[in-house]
Amino acid sequence: MEGKLMSPQFNNYPPHSFMKDFKQPIQYEKHSRKECINYIHVPYCNERCGYCILSSVIRDASKLGKEIELIKKEIDLYSDNIKDREVVAALWGGGTPSLLLPEQIEDLYGHARKKIKFSEHAEITVEVKPGTLNNENIEAFKACGVNRISFGVQTLNEEELKYCNRNNSVDIVYNTMDLAAKHGLNDINFDLLIGIPTQTVESFKTTCEQVFSHLRPNHASLYILIVHPKTYFARLYEKNKEMFAGDETKKRMYDVFFDTAAKYNYTATSPLNVAKNSALRSKYQYYNWKGYERIAIGPEAIGYCGETQYINLSWRDEKYEELLNASELPVKCSYNLSKDELLRRSVILGLQNLELNLEEMNSTYGLDVLNHFDSIWKLLIEKQLIEKKENILHLTPSGRKLLYYIQTLFYDNRIELGQQGIAGVIIKEIEHVNNPVEFAG
């Protein structure tokens, strides 16, 4: 991921902790629509962000020949099995794909375009570190069909950027946007981060003002810092916790993001995303949360194909290369979802689009979804976290802040919630919402 990290939301179900011991074959034939999305992960960076927990390779791009060939092999292994699918949105992320050399970009992503069918108007987003675009790599991305850019901005405050070990500045972001616009790439997303050392509500307000009033990307995503062990931030945290915003401050920053975006006429499209208007929402996110198959390729990529959820091995695992050389997918674990798990997955992911269409879900699963989770919906409606209007369940603004907890209520009770806490604690959290302003950070 280009300069971002975990946030309190779920993009997969069941979680890794549950499926880690399974290795079941992908059931390619099990799919109800030809439209799907595609993710290609190239975990390669030129420096490590202060909060990074990923096993990204830090190396000169010219030395990535073997790694690129292996990802191309994986593309080949999928291509025959997904001939009847059509990609309607793709995210090519990292790492930092914009650090690849132009010829590597054309070689890798051009290969994906040749081997996998993309719809004529597919949204194709690439993750870019501000300051790493140039005339050559932009043209290489465009030649592969890229029409949307996601910038890992995180913050526009110079001191905070130094802690992140990211070499951005307002000028660099402006210049990179200008360069992209000169090449006709105007559909831009910004990733912003709250919880950076020394960040305050005021400094985040300044960043948001610059973003939404001056830079005006079509779309912005908010990420909430979780300090992970063994990172630079974890070492800083041990020395001085005071440098890090507490939960109360993060709640206020969360409000600053949405209030500032609304002030400049942006619309919330999920509990952590805004767009200039709903037509400019991320199609990749939208379809992902609607439950479309996600053909995910590359080390550590997490995919969902033919009702099978899978996680790939890392580059660092020698089996990754061994399997690909033997023409096998580099899958670490894979799990075929039951009908009940598919339903839970649809609710858990679907809520991120802020609403669930009951009619659609009832007909997909052949049951009454409202009745099926009767006691949970009752609790959520009573606490004004969900509202029912005709056949649509809407997440209220208070519900958006608690989505993380709400999602875990739909977990099967065989699943241990690990770092999310235990189900009882979560229910208690929601039951205590009298004036629901809690924040799931």
Binding site for ligand SF4 (CB under 6 A): 1-3, 45, 48-49, 52, 54, 56, 94-96
Q: Which is nearer to ligand SF4, 49 or 369 (CB)?
A: 49
Residue nearer to ligand SF4 on the CB measure, 225 or 261: 225
Nearer to ligand SF4, 126 or 395 (CB): 126
CB nearer ligand SF4, residue 96 or residue 157: 96
Report the nearest approach of ligand SF4 to the CB of residue 42 (Å): 10
Least CB distance from residue 139 to ligand SF4, whole Å?
A: 23
Closer to ligand SF4 at the Cβ: 94 or 271? 94
Tell me the closest approach of the beta carbon of residue 425 to ligand SF4, in angstroms.
29
Output the smallest distance, CB 3 to ligand SF4, in A.
4
Of 201 and 226, which has the nearer Cβ to ligand SF4?
226
Identify which of residues 7 and 407 has a Cβ nearer to ligand SF4 in the complex.
7
- Min dist CB 154 to ligand SF4, Å, is 9
Tokens of 56: 């990204």
- Which of 188, 380 has the CB closer to ligand SF4? 188
CB of 128 to ligand SF4, least distance (A): 10
Measured from the CB of residue 15, what is the shortest distance to ligand SF4 in angstroms?
Answer: 21
Q: Shortest Cβ distance from residue 131 to ligand SF4 (Å)? A: 13
